[in-house]
Amino acid sequence: MAIKQSFKATVNSEYVFEDVRPALDMIPLGDGHYHIIKGHQSYRVEVIGYKLDAKSFSIRVNGGLYQVQLEDEYDQLVQRLGLAAVSKEKVREIRAPMPGLVLSLAVEEGQEVKKGDSLLILEAMKMENILKSPGDGAIKRINVRQGEAVEKNHLLIEMD
Protein backbone atom coordinates (compact mmCIF):
# COMPACT_ATOMS: atom_id res chain seq x y z
CA MET A 1 0.00 0.00 0.00
CA ALA A 2 1.49 3.34 -1.03
CA ILE A 3 1.24 6.30 1.33
CA LYS A 4 -0.04 9.28 -0.64
CA GLN A 5 0.66 11.93 1.98
CA SER A 6 3.90 13.88 1.70
CA PHE A 7 5.93 15.49 4.45
CA LYS A 8 8.44 18.25 4.89
CA ALA A 9 11.40 16.96 6.91
CA THR A 10 13.87 19.18 8.75
CA VAL A 11 17.01 17.38 9.88
CA ASN A 12 19.17 18.79 12.70
CA SER A 13 17.41 22.17 12.26
CA GLU A 14 19.61 22.68 9.21
CA TYR A 15 18.61 20.54 6.24
CA VAL A 16 15.10 20.76 4.78
CA PHE A 17 13.61 18.15 2.47
CA GLU A 18 10.33 18.97 0.71
CA ASP A 19 7.72 16.52 -0.61
CA VAL A 20 9.11 13.50 1.29
CA ARG A 21 7.01 10.42 0.63
CA PRO A 22 7.70 7.44 2.85
CA ALA A 23 8.39 4.70 0.30
CA LEU A 24 11.02 2.57 2.01
CA ASP A 25 11.96 -1.08 1.89
CA MET A 26 12.13 -1.50 5.66
CA ILE A 27 12.70 -4.55 7.83
CA PRO A 28 12.09 -4.18 11.59
CA LEU A 29 14.87 -5.85 13.56
CA GLY A 30 13.21 -5.32 16.94
CA ASP A 31 13.80 -2.97 19.86
CA GLY A 32 13.62 0.18 17.70
CA HIS A 33 16.16 -1.03 15.13
CA TYR A 34 15.46 -1.22 11.39
CA HIS A 35 17.23 -2.20 8.19
CA ILE A 36 16.24 0.10 5.32
CA ILE A 37 17.04 -0.06 1.63
CA LYS A 38 16.47 3.12 -0.37
CA GLY A 39 17.90 3.80 -3.83
CA HIS A 40 20.09 0.67 -3.80
CA GLN A 41 21.71 1.75 -0.52
CA SER A 42 21.46 -0.02 2.80
CA TYR A 43 20.94 1.82 6.11
CA ARG A 44 20.88 0.67 9.72
CA VAL A 45 18.45 2.86 11.64
CA GLU A 46 17.76 3.05 15.36
CA VAL A 47 14.90 5.11 16.76
CA ILE A 48 16.31 6.60 19.96
CA GLY A 49 13.35 8.74 20.96
CA TYR A 50 10.22 10.34 19.58
CA LYS A 51 7.31 12.64 20.35
CA LEU A 52 4.49 11.58 18.05
CA ASP A 53 2.27 14.56 18.89
CA ALA A 54 5.10 16.93 17.88
CA LYS A 55 6.20 14.70 14.96
CA SER A 56 9.81 14.84 16.17
CA PHE A 57 12.27 11.94 16.23
CA SER A 58 15.81 11.23 17.38
CA ILE A 59 17.35 8.58 15.14
CA ARG A 60 20.73 7.06 14.52
CA VAL A 61 21.47 6.22 10.87
CA ASN A 62 24.61 4.18 10.16
CA GLY A 63 26.10 5.53 13.40
CA GLY A 64 25.22 9.23 12.85
CA LEU A 65 22.76 10.93 15.23
CA TYR A 66 19.94 13.01 13.68
CA GLN A 67 17.03 15.07 14.99
CA VAL A 68 14.13 14.94 12.52
CA GLN A 69 11.09 17.22 12.58
CA LEU A 70 8.24 16.28 10.23
CA GLU A 71 5.47 18.54 8.99
CA ASP A 72 2.48 16.96 7.25
CA GLU A 73 0.39 18.76 4.63
CA TYR A 74 -1.83 20.31 7.32
CA ASP A 75 1.17 21.65 9.29
CA GLN A 76 2.54 23.18 6.09
CA LEU A 77 -0.83 24.78 5.28
CA VAL A 78 -1.03 26.33 8.75
CA GLN A 79 2.48 27.77 8.21
CA ARG A 80 1.56 29.20 4.77
CA LEU A 81 -1.59 30.81 6.19
CA GLY A 82 0.49 32.43 8.94
CA LEU A 83 -1.53 30.78 11.70
CA ALA A 84 1.43 29.18 13.48
CA ALA A 85 2.87 32.33 15.01
CA VAL A 86 3.54 31.81 18.69
CA SER A 87 2.16 34.51 20.90
CA LYS A 88 3.57 35.49 24.28
CA GLU A 89 0.07 36.42 25.41
CA LYS A 90 -2.32 33.85 26.77
CA VAL A 91 -4.60 32.47 24.06
CA ARG A 92 -8.23 33.24 24.82
CA GLU A 93 -9.84 32.16 21.54
CA ILE A 94 -9.51 29.17 19.24
CA ARG A 95 -10.63 30.03 15.71
CA ALA A 96 -11.03 27.84 12.65
CA PRO A 97 -7.81 27.97 10.59
CA MET A 98 -9.84 27.15 7.46
CA PRO A 99 -13.42 26.36 6.42
CA GLY A 100 -14.50 22.90 7.49
CA LEU A 101 -16.86 20.59 9.31
CA VAL A 102 -16.64 19.92 13.07
CA LEU A 103 -16.39 16.12 13.26
CA SER A 104 -16.06 15.81 17.03
CA LEU A 105 -15.35 17.72 20.21
CA ALA A 106 -12.78 16.37 22.66
CA VAL A 107 -13.46 18.84 25.50
CA GLU A 108 -16.33 20.19 27.59
CA GLU A 109 -16.96 23.61 29.10
CA GLY A 110 -15.11 24.00 32.39
CA GLN A 111 -12.52 21.37 31.51
CA GLU A 112 -8.86 22.11 32.25
CA VAL A 113 -6.52 21.55 29.30
CA LYS A 114 -2.76 21.51 28.86
CA LYS A 115 -0.76 22.73 25.90
CA GLY A 116 -1.05 20.14 23.12
CA ASP A 117 -4.30 18.56 24.34
CA SER A 118 -6.77 17.78 21.54
CA LEU A 119 -9.74 20.16 21.46
CA LEU A 120 -11.68 19.11 18.37
CA ILE A 121 -11.42 17.49 14.96
CA LEU A 122 -12.10 19.71 11.96
CA GLU A 123 -12.53 18.10 8.55
CA ALA A 124 -11.17 20.34 5.82
CA MET A 125 -10.07 19.55 2.28
CA LYS A 126 -10.89 15.84 2.84
CA MET A 127 -8.46 15.68 5.78
CA GLU A 128 -9.22 15.27 9.47
CA ASN A 129 -7.32 17.96 11.38
CA ILE A 130 -6.91 17.77 15.14
CA LEU A 131 -6.92 21.25 16.65
CA LYS A 132 -4.86 21.29 19.83
CA SER A 133 -4.64 23.67 22.74
CA PRO A 134 -1.89 26.26 22.19
CA GLY A 135 -1.43 26.58 25.96
CA ASP A 136 -2.69 25.63 29.40
CA GLY A 137 -6.09 26.89 30.51
CA ALA A 138 -9.75 26.10 30.99
CA ILE A 139 -12.50 25.79 28.41
CA LYS A 140 -14.80 28.76 29.07
CA ARG A 141 -17.28 28.29 26.22
CA ILE A 142 -17.69 26.01 23.20
CA ASN A 143 -19.28 27.87 20.30
CA VAL A 144 -19.78 24.95 17.88
CA ARG A 145 -21.52 21.59 17.79
CA GLN A 146 -20.54 18.30 16.23
CA GLY A 147 -21.60 18.27 12.58
CA GLU A 148 -21.55 22.07 12.25
CA ALA A 149 -19.94 23.66 9.20
CA VAL A 150 -17.66 26.63 9.98
CA GLU A 151 -15.89 29.27 7.96
CA LYS A 152 -12.29 30.41 8.33
CA ASN A 153 -11.77 32.45 11.56
CA HIS A 154 -15.07 31.21 13.06
CA LEU A 155 -14.81 31.37 16.87
CA LEU A 156 -14.76 27.73 17.96
CA ILE A 157 -13.72 27.77 21.63
CA GLU A 158 -13.18 30.46 24.26
CA MET A 159 -10.59 29.79 26.98
CA ASP A 160 -9.71 31.25 30.38
Nearest CA among 101, 160, 109, 89 for reference residue 131: 101
The CATH number linked to 137 is 2.40.50.100
Nearest Cα residue to 91 out of 137, 132, 129: 137
Q: Are 67 and 91 in the same domain? A: no
Residue 70 above 90 pLDDT? no
Is residue 49 assigned to a domain? yes
Burial class of 159 by CB neighbour count within 10 A (0 to 12, 13 to 18, 19+): buried
- The answer to whether residues 102 and 150 touch, using CB atoms and an 8 Å cutoff, is yes
For residue 59, give its domain range: 7-71
Pairwise pLDDT comparison (68 vs 83), residue with the higher score: 68
Residues 54 and 106 in one domain: no
Question: Model confidence over 72-113: pLDDT tens digits?
Answer: 887 777 777 766 655 445 678 999 988 999 999 999 999 999
Straight-line distance from the first to the last Cα atom of the chain, in angstroms, rounded to the nearest whole number: 45
Q: Is pLDDT above 90 for 158?
A: yes
Please tell me whether residues 99 and 66 are part of one structural domain: no
